[in-house]
Structure 1
């Protein structure tokens, strides 16, 4: 092609920025949401420790050795020994089982029951006026005090601790689900389904329920973290699991009298509890950012 006289074609400017390649797959997802990657990794490690505790422990966590009590951390006792000569390292490993079982169980049962109550009260005005007043009354009591009151009526066991904490956490889940249902009930597609004569249960399961699962999943992670802290508090004050069960709260309760001279008895279970709660909270924050389109980081 010939160029007319007096005209020239400018050269294309050089490429300064390289082409951006979108990251796909699991690694790309974790790269966009580092909170999920960090929290999930820490939680996986804790679950691994809890599951394989029988293969990782060095001594029987319940074996008494009064002649070896309050030994400093060493090759014989990696985390030291307590006032009864029990290996703190082995007890901390088995304590992960109690905390994770309580946390996951409370998160599951509280989410399930709260979901049912929230759906019912959010879609039925008569039920809402009755159920929400009961939930308001339960929410007026701090969860830890309600759990202590419920534990006072039963004997100490892991099952009763799960039941007590679940009852204390149900009102918050039902409130969350009810708020989501009330906002979804006014959406045009729900009104169109009602106007077309669709049955109520079909509207709930096809239009309402799927849209409540995302916020409910995020809330479940926070409930799991709160349940592990509550279980440790209950065990620490003697209202949780029996002292014979090695839980992090029991270990810290038994070592508090020697805190100033033997701080390692309290330090190691406290560190494991803090890391586990941090992992669950990071996972919840990452899920919130990934699920909420307003907070999602886009490339």
Structure 2
């Protein structure tokens, strides 16, 4: 066997492995179309926000009173608002705010809620104390809690993310705590305890990996909820600054002219609905694919 054939064999195996992964990925998308559709729409919205300056937009904050309340046309695709700002540009740039808030809240609340849920579920003496605090926070609707927190701070994207994250942490912590309570009674966990394994090793080796599936699904729903709450906060004037182009701000500014210029609210509402629908479809698809009981019926 020559040296050339020896080097070609690993390369051929790598190519075959890559083709096999691609085939499995395509088969997965065919079996779970919700993941494909929801993920595709979400990626499209993310690309719109990232490449907003390259999509025929202008300065979304530029005011032109002489061009106010124009209807959609070839020059102004989505029309203009009462200050003459281009609604198309504001809607496209508004995708950045909504997606940033949604993804940030989902990541931060998942990390903090996961930590609290793991501690409350596995350390028995802390369960009662932590869960009573969580129950108290969950007794307040998330939107009201976010409004109360925003009332204590000035309007900014960072403060909106923090306020919504605090409101969403209890939901994550309660979910993780329930998963941990069921896992710690499993035979493999009891065997690890009997063998003298320390608590950190048991949590990171046996408990934490089994929380990733429900956490992934929950994170998608939190992302969708965070985008809706951000739009509500901006709509009532308690969210991001009015000058910042966000879908909630655009709808808030157009509500006074809803009957005569409905396009001011229509276009940001459509984009928000499509984005939330995409995230929910992705979450439903992940739930179906990660739940072994549902996977057997598919």
The root-mean-square deviation of aligned C-alpha atoms, in Å, is 1.1
**1:233: which partner in 2?**
232
Q: Which runs of 5+ in 2 are unaligned?
A: 1-21
Q: Give the Cα–Cα distance (whole angstroms) in 2 for the partners of residues 191 and 253 of structure 1.
A: 56
Shift of 1:57: 3.7
The alpha-carbon deviation at position 178 of structure 1 amounts to 0.2
Residues 1:103 and 1:171: Cα distance change in structure 2 (over 3 Å): same
Q: Which moved more, 1:126-135 or 1:155-164?
A: 126-135
Offset, 1:26: 1.5
Structure 1 residue runs of 5 or longer lacking an equivalent are 1-22
Distance in 2 (CA, whole Å) between partners of 1:203 and 1:58 is 53
3-state SS of paired residue (2:154): coil
Aligned residues: 277
Three-state SS of the structure 2 residue aligned to 1:151 is helix
| 1:25-49 residue CA offsets vs partner (Å, 9 max, x unmatched) | 2111100000001001110110010
Matches of 2:183 and 2:77, distance apart in 1: 55
Tell me: CA distance 1:42–1:297, structure 2 relative to 1, closer, same or farther (3 Å): farther
Instruction: Please name the residue that 1:274 is paired with.
Output: 273
* Cα deviation, residue 296, structure 1: 1.3
Indicate if the aligned counterparts of 1:73 and 1:79 stay in contact, CA closer than 8 A: yes
* Secondary structure, counterpart of 1:294 in structure 2: helix
Tell me how far 1:298 sits from its aligned partner: 6.1
Question: Which runs of structure 1 show a deviation greater than 6 angstroms over 4 or more consecutive aligned residues?
Answer: none
**Cα distance change of structure 1 residues 57 and 159 upon mapping to structure 2, 3 Å threshold:** farther
What residue number does 1:19 align with? none
Counterpart mapping for 1:13-92 below 5 A: 24-92=23-91
Distance 1:48 1:297 in 2: 35
What is the TM-score of this pair, normalised by structure 2?
0.92
Matches within 5 A, 1:232-251: 232-251=231-250
**By how many angstroms is 1:52 displaced?**
0.2
Range with bigger deviation, 24-33 or 255-264: 24-33
- Aligned to 1:72, the other structure's residue is in SS state coil
Shift of 1:24: 4.1
Corresponding residue for residue 150 of structure 2? 151
Q: Name the one with the larger helix percent.
A: 2
- Matched residue of 1:288: which SS? helix
Determine if contact 1:79/1:87 at 8 Å carries over to the other structure: yes
> Could you tell me which residue of structure 2 aligns to residue 165 of structure 1?
164
Structure-2 residue corresponding to 1:121: 120
Q: Secondary structure at the match of 1:295?
A: helix
Contact 1:57 1:89 (C-alpha < 8 Å) held by counterparts: no
Determine the structure 1 residue equivalent to 2:293.
294
